[in-house]
Amino acid sequence: MSSVGVVFRVTTFGESHGAAVGAVIDGVPAGIAFDEGFIRRELDRRKFCHIPVLNPRCEDEDFQVLSGVKDGLTTGTPIAVIIWNRRAKSDYYMDIWMKPRPGHADLAWYLKFGRLYDFRGGGRASGRETVARIAAGAVAKMVLRQVLGVEVSSHLVELGGVAIGRDSYTFDEVVKAWEKPLPMVDDEAVKRAVDLLIKTATEGDSVGGIGEVLTTEVPPGLGEPVFDKLKADLAKAIMSIPSAVGVEFGDGFRLARMRGSEANDQIRLRDGRPRLETNRVGGMLGGMSIGEPIRLRVAFKPTPSVRKPQRTVDLERMEEVTIVFKGRYDVSTAPKAILAAEAMTAIILVDHSIRAGLIPRVIKK
């Protein structure tokens, strides 16, 4: 449905062209220092208004925290955050009502709900829904940072076929990449990717990308055998993002092309405890955390909204037609979507940390 998590549980609500989107975050420990400014900064990271073809709608992301906070501290009750939709324009969509756009969720929603679904801007299936996840992810990050000292960040490793030219980088370099026009650790790749986005926009087309989520060291023991593995819950959460089409952990599919002797992370003693020498598995064995950083990559498909003519079916007349989309669209969803993946990672880590007894219900100062 619209909720994720077992104890730390996030429910999102709202549609792309409705009054607002938002999240209710339940299970937040009492006593967390609550920073609305941090939520503001996280939402601002999503905007990309400096590259208009990435966000022609360019919402201000005005938000309000409705509950769960008193005197700057969380109270242990549900936190509700609402983000207002100020710049929705629905008239673009009236011409294509009952003409499902190729690549969008329109057809699936019609086949499930008939005429009852909100088709404007993609409704509940729109990438706009992920702004609520980012707000909830900001709360999750506050908990991780203050209780466990864990940080989560992300970056793009490829956009429209333009890949970064580096195989290694530090967590701090990934964080600093967000100071650039696009969050890529390779400056030359940033320039080429921005040029590609502008060129693609003039052609009326779109591109996809690949993002990577990284954490600092995560405590061992998160995840439960066999079906509640941390890896399994992360994969489900990531794949719930609208444009996500694939996820891999650590070296992922590259491991399938290695010999076992090459793929295995050798185990060494470091600082008095067993540690992985290479972390090709992305910080998990048996689906559970082992005290290493978590690393995963996500593939995002191109934005299905394009200005090129596309064939579909008029569901009222049951005849094939050609449509041309005239509304606003992001040339690539990947820069925003990787932030949603970052948020979902933080949410799942908090949920499993509470379940493992590493985060108490009350934080005593």
Q: Provide the token pair at 351.
A: 């949920």
Alpha helices in the chain (DSSP H): 36-45, 106-113, 130-143, 171-176, 187-202, 230-239, 260-263, 334-355
304, pLDDT greater than 80:
yes
Helix (H, G, I), strand (E, B) or coil at 91: helix
Q: What is the mean pLDDT of residues 198-227?
A: 96
pLDDT at 93 over 80: no
Q: What is the pLDDT of residue 211?
A: 98
pLDDT tens sequence across 79-92? 999 999 988 777 77
> Domains of the chain (ranges plus CATH)?
3-355 (3.60.150.10)
The span from the CA of 123 to the CA of 318, in Å, is 23
pLDDT digits over 6-30, tens only? Answer: 999 999 999 988 899 999 999 999 9
- Indicate the pairing of strand 310-314 with strand 267-270: unpaired
Residue 71 has a CB neighbour count (10 Å cut-off) of 6
The per-residue pLDDT for range 320-359, each reduced to its tens digit, is: 999 988 777 889 999 999 999 999 999 999 999 999 999 9
CB 329 within 8 A of CB 56: yes
Question: For 247-283, what is the HEC assignment?
Answer: EEECCHHHHHHCCHHHHCCCEEEECCEEEECCCCCCC
CA–CA separation, 320 vs 212, rounded Å? 40
Mean per-residue pLDDT over the chain, rounded? 95
**145 DSSP assignment:** I
User: Which run of H or E residues covers position 181?
Assistant: none
Instruction: List the structure tokens of 117.
Output: 């679904």
pLDDT higher than 80, residue 94: no
Q: How far apart are CA 148 and CA 218, in angstroms?
A: 8
Count helices and strands in the chain by DSSP H and E runs: 8, 18
DSSP assignment of 193-245 equals HHHHHHHHHHTT----EEEEEEEEEPPTT-SBTTTB-HHHHHHHHHHTSTTEE
H or E stretch covering 80: strand 79-84
Maximum CA extent, the chain:
71
The answer to whether 246 and 299 have CB atoms below 8 angstroms apart is: yes
